[in-house]
C-alpha cells in the first residue's frame, strides 16, 4: 500500500500493518514478553527489550503511528508528558535556550517553569501569531521552537507554517504538540515540522482507558528521542500499545464525528444570550479561522467558552450538564467538560501565564448525537 496515495480512513485501518501478520492474525497480537533472543554480538540497536521500545507489539505500534503522521519513524511513550519531555531532552542540552509559544498546556508549562533551570535550560514565551516576538526572543544559544497546533485551553491557532519556516531558517529544531488537531485534521510534517508529539491518552486512543504518548519524525531524530526514553524508562507497556493500535483504526471516524459535534455546540453557544464568549476555530468570528481553514481538514473536538455571570455561573453550568462528564481529559468518545483553572492548568504561574480565567469552561466533544448535546446545553443554560 502506498501511504502517500491512500485516503486517511484507509490509512487509519491499514497503515503500518504487516501483511501477513504473525500466524495470519488480522489483529496484531500482544507480545507481553520483556526480552527476546538476540544473535551473539548483536549491537544494542538489535536487542529486543521492552524498556528499549523494541518489543514486537511496540514496534508494530511505532509503524502505525509513523504512517498516520506521514513520518519516517515514531516511538510510543508512557504518557503525553513523557513524549514532550523526551523530545525536549533530545533537542536541548545544558546552556541551550528554547522558544515556546506562550499559550500551551499547563503540564508543559509547569515542567519548564520547575525543571528548566535545574537542567541548565532557559526559555522565552512568545506569541505564536506575531513573528516579531520570535525574532526578539532568538539568542545564539536558541536550539528549538515549541508550539501547539491548537492551543490548550484557549483554542488558538498560531502561524504554524511560519514557525516551521522560522525554525528552519535559524537552524532550530521545530517541535509541535498535535494532540488537539490529531493527524486527521493536520499533519505537521507536511509543513516542515521536525518532531510531532501527542498525548495519545486523548484522541489517538479515544476510549479513556490508557495513558500513552507518541513522537514522530525522521529516523535520526526518533533514535535520539528513543535513547532518552530508554534512559528515563519512558517506554509504553505492550498491552497499552495493543490498545492504542486498536484505537487508531477508528480514529478518522471518531475525530470527524467529534469535529462536527464541537462545531455545532460552538455555533449554538455563540448565538446564546447567556454566553459571553466562545473560542473554536471553526467559527467565522474566531481570530484564527482563516488560518485554520487553510491549514486543517477539520477544526478539532475542543472549544472553550465563558458564560455570562462569571465563575459562579461557570460552576453552576458544569454541574447542570447531564451528558458530559466533569473531567479534565479530552478526545474520548464521551463528552467531557471542565474548568481548566480548577484542573489541568493549576500550579505555580500556569494559569497566569496562559490567561486561564476562573470562569473559562473547556468542552471536549464526544460522539454522542449532536441533537442530544445541544439539548443538554440548552437546558443547562436555561437552568
- Give the residue among 82, 95, 105, 96 at the shortest CA–CA distance from 225: 82
pLDDT score recorded for residue 350: 44
In three-state form (DSSP H/G/I as H, E/B as E, the rest C), the secondary structure along 107-136 is HHHHHHHHHHHHHCCEEEEECCCCHHHHHH
Element (H, E) at 307: strand 302-307
Element (H, E) at 86: helix 80-91
Of 31, 96, 105, 194, catalytic? 105
Q: What count of other Cβ atoms lies within 10 Å of the Cβ of residue 109?
A: 23
Which triple of cell numbers denotes residue 211?
495513558
8 A C-beta contact, residue 88 and residue 77 = no
Burial class (CB in 10 A: 0-12, 13-18, 19+), 320: middle
8 A C-beta contact, residue 87 and residue 175 = yes
Residue listed under C-alpha cell 453550568: 317
8 A C-beta contact, residue 340 and residue 358 = no
8 A C-beta contact, residue 258 and residue 366 = yes
What CA–CA distance (Å, rounded) separates 189 from 70?
7
Element (H, E) at 215: strand 213-217
pLDDT score recorded for residue 198: 98
pLDDT score recorded for residue 346: 42
Which triple of cell numbers denotes residue 134?
520570535
Of 110, 143, 156, 202, catalytic? 202
Q: DSSP label at 49? A: B
What CA–CA distance (Å, rounded) separates 227 from 236?
14
For 3-248, CATH gives 3.40.640.10
Q: Would you identify the CATH topology of the domain 252-382?
A: 3.90.1150
Residue 68's contacts (CB-CB under 8 Å, 6 or more residues apart) are 8, 11, 12, 15, 16, 183, 248, 251
What CA–CA distance (Å, rounded) separates 180 from 165?
22
Query: What DSSP line would sit under 266-282, residue for residue?
Result: HHHHHT-TTEEEEE-TT
8 A C-beta contact, residue 353 and residue 102 = yes
The domain segmentation of the chain, as residue ranges, is 3-248, 252-382
Of 96, 177, 194, 237, catalytic? 177
Ranges of residues in the chain whose predicted pLDDT is under 50 = 345-353
Phi, psi of 77 (to 5 degrees): -130, 170
Four-point Cα dihedral 269, 319, 313, 375, nearest 10: 30
pLDDT, tens only, 280-334: 999 999 999 999 999 999 999 999 999 999 999 999 999 999 999 999 899 999 9
Four-point Cα dihedral 153, 368, 270, 321, nearest 10: -80
Has 177 been annotated as catalytic?
yes
pLDDT score recorded for residue 103: 79
Has 109 been annotated as catalytic?
no
Has 48 been annotated as catalytic?
no
Burial class (CB in 10 A: 0-12, 13-18, 19+), 273: exposed
**Which SS3 state, helix, strand or coil, does residue 320 take?**
helix
What angle in degrees, to the nearest 10, is found between the helix axes of 219-232 and 80-91?
Answer: 110
pLDDT score recorded for residue 4: 64
Amino acid at each position: 500500500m502506498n501511504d502517500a496515495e491512500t485516503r486517511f480512513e484507509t490509512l487509519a485501518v491499514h497503515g503500518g500493518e504487516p501483511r501477513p501478520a504473525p500466524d495470519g492474525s488480522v489483529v496484531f497480537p500482544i507480545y507481553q514478553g520483556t526480552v527476546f533472543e538476540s544473535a551473539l554480538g548483536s549491537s544494542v540497536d538489535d536487542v529486543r527489550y521492552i524498556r528499549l521500545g523494541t518489543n514486537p507489539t511496540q514496534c508494530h505500534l511505532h509503524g502505525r503511528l509513523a504512517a498516520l503522521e506521514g513520518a519516517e519513524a515514531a516511538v510510543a511513550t508512557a504518557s503525553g508528558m513523557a513524549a514532550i519531555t523526551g523530545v525536549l531532552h533530545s533537542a536541548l542540552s545544558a546552556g541551550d535556550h528554547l522558544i515556546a509559544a506562550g499559550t500551551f498546556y499547563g503540564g508543559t508549562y509547569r515542567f519548564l517553569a520547575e525543571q528548566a533551570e535545574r537542567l541548565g535550560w532557559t526559555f522565552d514565551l512568545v506569541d505564536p501569531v506575531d513573528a516579531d516576538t520570535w525574532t526578539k526572543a532568538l539568542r545564539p544559544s536558541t536550539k528549538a521552537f515549541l508550539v501547539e497546533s491548537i492551543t490548550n485551553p484557549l483554542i488558538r491557532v498560531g502561524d504554524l507554517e511560519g514557525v516551521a519556516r522560522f525554525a528552519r531558517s535559524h537552524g532550530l529544531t521545530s517541535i509541535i504538540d498535535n494532540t488537539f488537531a490529531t493527524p486527521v485534521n493536520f499533519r505537521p510534517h507536511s509543513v516542515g515540522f521536525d518532531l510531532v508529539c501527542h498525548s495519545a491518552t486523548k484522541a489517538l486512543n479515544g476510549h479513556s482507558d490508557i495513558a500513552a504518548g507518541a513522537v514522530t519524525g525522521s529516523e535520526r531524530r526518533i533514535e535520539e528521542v528513543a535513547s532518552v526514553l530508554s534512559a528515563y524508562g519512558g517506554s509504553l507497556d505492550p498491552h497499552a500499545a495493543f490498545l492504542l493500535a486498536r484505537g487508531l483504526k477508528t480514529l478518522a471516524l471518531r475525530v470527524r464525528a467529534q469535529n462536527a459535534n464541537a462545531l455545532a455546540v460552538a455555533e449554538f453557544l455563540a448565538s446564546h444570550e447567556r454566553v459571553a464568549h466562545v473560542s473554536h476555530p471553526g467559527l467565522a468570528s474566531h481570530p484564527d479561522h482563516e488560518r485554520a481553514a487553510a491549514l486543517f481538514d477539520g477544526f478539532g473536538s475542543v472549544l472553550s467558552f465563558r458564560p455570562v455571570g462569571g465563575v459562579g455561573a461557570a460552576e453552576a453550568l458544569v454541574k447542570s450538564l447531564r451528558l458530559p462528564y466533569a473531567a479534565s481529559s479530552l478526545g474520548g468518545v464521551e463528552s467531557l467538560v471542565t474548568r481548566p483553572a480548577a484542573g489541568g492548568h493549576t500550579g505555580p504561574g500556569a494559569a497566569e501565564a496562559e490567561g486561564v480565567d476562573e470562569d473559562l469552561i473547556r468542552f471536549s466533544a464526544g460522539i454522542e448525537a449532536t441533537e442530544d448535546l445541544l439539548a443538554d446545553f440548552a437546558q443547562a443554560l436555561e437552568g
